[in-house]
Structure 1
């Protein structure tokens, strides 16, 4: 009799769990089909517990928050973009950008990402060097400092940054900080107490002050931006934390890529920050003024577009940019990504390029920081290796760089990884740059990284244990939700 009731209860739990799973994942008509089936797998394999996982990882940003992002003013950038759509290359030498015209037009159409020319761009690959230059620029700030990071940890370098910003706020400089509460390990209110007391403004990205149901992992601010006086900008992969300076034994040396930009490209970064700030804060709203969007006299040779993506947009701008870059390559493709979990379109494009005689090189870390993500990365790396594509594991420390270079012509550097989370879930920002000199420099940096890397051949993967290959395969099934 008891066994009968146990069986009946188990059957009822199974039926209820299945129905609840169907209602949960299919009610969002805009969710990607691969994500739907991945979440069905989780909810069915882990009854009840799976719903807790979904609560943390599966829910999207609320509709009112997305609407708030969508309705922000683009602060004059839209008018510039509209003019450039009529004559895409009016500000540059048309002969120099014949092949890039369709690429530039793509971002103008999708993102109103204006094309700026004559930017001065420095490539920063070492955390100590990057923070030294950034701190020097912050110390020299006269009017404002706008900071936006996924991660600002309450550790040594994080407090050094906040202390410096506090000093500048006390000196009358307008200081604003946006951070992601999840990426930064919480609100860390005590960390910002003195900065706020000095007049600095600090906000957790799109996070209500008291809202239990805002606790979720998806749809977070993964952008990394610093804009100083409207004429110096930083964009790339570095966050703020001791690990990004190689101070954590777990990761060792931290290899990343960030850009220091002087030129009109900074104005596009400023517009991005303004939009994020105005969507996040309920108090002070920022408006267009010459103090924040000054005339910049730069003498560089880099043309660039600042491209954003996130769940507030219907078009996956950075993903389309990556796909377009890979598809339009004629000679070479060089990719660095800590989380290499591409969708089928990206994989097809890479494999087609390789079979067409284009040299494709991909570099991933040799150690994980997120186990499931790394095992999935290994799976896709093994697929590429079987295709004869050059796949390298960086051994010196942890590789966090998110870069693509094609044909010694076009470069992408930013916050977006080569994974579905960056393509569709997180708020990201990348710089797409058009410069032969910069592309050649980026490829020289890649060649230098090869000195500390191992080529991953089919034989390398064949030697792995069956258990490890199973973990890679299983992690791959979860890639739409990693």
Structure 2
């Protein structure tokens, strides 16, 4: 028997591989996911023995609504229920908002409120922050004035120059008696053991989101926390595309200019941002947070910008951010301007843009000229011909790398946040966006988009079609992996 096993060990391993493959394929078919994604996984499993199973193990398993992401305690707290009830509008109030402010965009408000219990907040002051140097100056000023608590949640935190400056501020505030909570993604972040010990000794509460064994080799692991948010004393909130790293700060000696967008909010929308932080904190710390009113102080109304906070991830029933973007596209009347570093959308998103453009709406997309990911760059390129077919204008940012994730529609609707326009952000990672219904802020974001076009080159269909066959082959190959990116 032993001799037979020795002589046929490879055949037995292959048989075992394909028995597992059959089981995985049956599971995928029963999940009833997107046919393209289903076919991609089946091809990888069947034609790449062993490797296919590894890919499926790390990327293919579906944990949406799983118990590991079931975090309902916070949402059931009486204080939060009362706050959401106070912020929610009845049908009469929504009708007044539609008549006075939102025109035909009221369905976006209802979509988010129904999907994610994200109330429309009407009393907010919003400041758009362009680039890391501006964001960190404002953030550090606010952190230094914190009295009760500081809550930070980031995909990337590094203890380089800017990161060390931020972490030192947190240590000082914690020593002064301020509650400091810091949640970082284990794959994205890189904090030295020495700095972690300093944070601990200072009283900073630090937890990693879903720790992995070898974070440097798992940069595309599924279900990462891609959010970048900060809450100071429950009164000030930050969110957007800018992580904590020197890469995001433009200094005179920096080789690559980094263009990014963040926002600062004072007002009622910070309530929803705080709730999202606390639900994540319960998950990473594996303990229930005692909810007190100091986390949700009464806020003086400094401005009247209407804002909703849209959060999505494996713990939400719907892909909220993608849905609100899709709905905004389909309700556009004049223009749609999008900026994203990664454009790897699903067919529905592409079709919505095509229909909008063919209906006479000015649709423009701004993407990087040079990407930080070879496969993402060519996957993005594989979709451009479909945009050109519908006369959508495509621009490549040439001044440096554009990492902003923004969208503005009709001088009325805009969104700024952490979500890229790709499969991973729409369906897999934890993301968060601010959805803003305000003419002045939309016009401001539009002006920044037009300014960015001065540092971009427009692409033309006739030139694009002349690209080499080698590039077309790269695009075809990378597009096969698009549902997994």
Same fold (TM > 0.5): yes
> 1:55–1:216: 8 Å Cα contact kept in structure 2?
no
SS in 2 for 1:116: coil
Is 1:27–2:31 an aligned residue pair?
A: no
> Do the aligned partners of residues 479 and 292 (structure 1) sit closer, same or farther apart at CA in structure 2, a change above 3 Å counting?
same
1:273-308 deviation line (CA, Å, top 9, x unaligned)? 01110122134x323322110011132231000111
**Partner residue in 2 for 1:240:** 244
SS in 2 for 1:276: helix
Correspondence 1:19-58 to 2 at 5 A: 19-27=19-27, 29-30=30-31, 32-33=33-34, 34-58=36-60
- Alpha-carbon deviation of 1:20? 2.5
Q: For residues 38 and 251 of structure 1, what CA distance do their matches in structure 2 show?
A: 38
Q: For residues 349 and 337 of structure 1, what CA distance do their matches in structure 2 show?
A: 17
Is 1:313–2:316 an aligned residue pair?
A: yes
> 1:65–1:206: 8 Å Cα contact kept in structure 2?
no
Moved more, 266-275 or 85-94: 85-94
> 2:188–2:219: 8 Å Cα contact kept in structure 1?
no
Q: For residues 181 and 213 of structure 2, what CA distance do their matches in structure 1 show?
A: 17
> 2:187–2:212: 8 Å Cα contact kept in structure 1?
no
Return 5+ residue gaps in structure 2 as ranges. Answer: 1-7
SS in 2 for 1:348: helix
1:184-239 deviation line (CA, Å, top 9, x unaligned)? 14x6443221111111100112448999xx99810011111100011111011111
Q: For residues 220 and 380 of structure 2, what CA distance do their matches in structure 1 show?
A: 24
Picking from 130, 134, 137, the partner of 1:132 is: 137
SS in 2 for 1:287: coil
- Alpha-carbon deviation of 1:97? 2.5
**Partner residue in 2 for 1:464:** 467
**Partner residue in 2 for 1:193:** 197
**Partner residue in 2 for 1:363:** 366
- Alpha-carbon deviation of 1:15? 5.6
- Alpha-carbon deviation of 1:74? 5.3
> 1:88–1:101: 8 Å Cα contact kept in structure 2?
no
**Partner residue in 2 for 1:380:** 383
Moved more, 378-387 or 105-114: 378-387
- Alpha-carbon deviation of 1:72? 4.0
SS in 2 for 1:305: strand
Q: For residues 326 and 210 of structure 1, what CA distance do their matches in structure 2 show?
A: 40
Is 1:102–2:104 an aligned residue pair?
A: no
> Do the aligned partners of residues 336 and 469 (structure 1) sit closer, same or farther apart at CA in structure 2, a change above 3 Å counting?
same
Is 1:182–2:203 an aligned residue pair?
A: no
Q: For residues 182 and 245 of structure 1, what CA distance do their matches in structure 2 show?
A: 21
Picking from 404, 429, 433, the partner of 1:401 is: 404
Query: How does the TM-score come out when normalised to structure 2?
Result: 0.90
- Alpha-carbon deviation of 1:91? 11
1:221-261 deviation line (CA, Å, top 9, x unaligned)? 11111000111110111111111114699971111110011
Moved more, 15-24 or 116-125: 15-24
SS in 2 for 1:117: coil
Moved more, 455-464 or 467-476: 455-464
> Do the aligned partners of residues 332 and 201 (structure 1) sit closer, same or farther apart at CA in structure 2, a change above 3 Å counting?
same
> 1:150–1:221: 8 Å Cα contact kept in structure 2?
yes
**Partner residue in 1 for 2:175:** 170
Picking from 110, 126, 131, the partner of 1:121 is: 126
> 2:235–2:266: 8 Å Cα contact kept in structure 1?
yes
Picking from 341, 346, 350, the partner of 1:343 is: 346
- Alpha-carbon deviation of 1:85? 5.6
Q: For residues 72 and 279 of structure 1, what CA distance do their matches in structure 2 show?
A: 11
> Do the aligned partners of residues 170 and 209 (structure 1) sit closer, same or farther apart at CA in structure 2, a change above 3 Å counting?
farther
> 1:119–1:299: 8 Å Cα contact kept in structure 2?
yes
> Do the aligned partners of residues 424 and 217 (structure 1) sit closer, same or farther apart at CA in structure 2, a change above 3 Å counting?
same
How many residues align? The count is 473
- Alpha-carbon deviation of 1:31? 6.1
Q: For residues 115 and 339 of structure 2, what CA distance do their matches in structure 1 show?
A: 25
1:419-438 deviation line (CA, Å, top 9, x unaligned)? 11111100111110100000
Query: How does the TM-score come out when normalised to structure 1?
Result: 0.91
